[in-house]
Amino acid sequence: MGDTKSGRVKKAREEETRQLARELEEERERIDEPEPPSEDEEEADLEPDGGPDSRTCHRRGCDEPAAYRALERYQEETGHGAVEAEALLCRDHVTEEHPTNLEGVYEDYVFRVEPLPSTVD
Ligand SMILES: [Zn+2]
């Protein structure tokens, strides 16, 4: 009864293909959706030294030029090693910055705020 079996398999496969096509279509629609304008703060997160344009305050909704860099180095809970979290902040917001990962304190724990070179000049 090979014919019957392969017929069933074929049907299942067609169903699978249809399902896949549907998913692809949905995926495409999602991609086609216009993205909200991305904030500079996201770039600043990834590339703190990405150039003058990305040096704006890390705080949401703040477009002030960053004047300080806050760095916190802590041990991740998972034990995968030290993690460095860095944020560029303007003069106003740097005063609100504080350690946020004290549960990850270890012997090389660092919380540091330093002026950006452009500020010192
Ligand atoms: Zn700010």
- Integer Cα distance of 49 and 32 in angstroms: 31
Q: For residue 93, report the distance from its CA to the centre of ligand 1, in Å.
A: 5
pLDDT band at 50 (very low <50, low <70, confident <90, very high): very low
Name the residues around ion ligand 1, CB cutoff 5 A. Answer: 57, 59, 62, 64, 90, 93
Query: What's the CA-to-centroid distance between 61 and ligand 1, angstroms?
Result: 8
Rounded to the nearest angstrom, the distance between the alpha carbon of 66 and the centre of ligand 1 is 7
Q: What gap in Å lies between CA 67 and CA 80, rounded to an integer?
A: 31
Higher model confidence: residue 72 or residue 27? 72
State residue 52's pLDDT score. Answer: 46
User: Comparing 28 with 96, which gets the higher pLDDT?
Assistant: 96
**pTM of the entire predicted model:** 0.52
9-18: pLDDT as tens digits: 788 888 888 8
Asked whether the beta carbons of 104 and 76 are under 8 A apart, the reply is: yes
In terms of pLDDT, which residue wins out, 52 or 79? 79
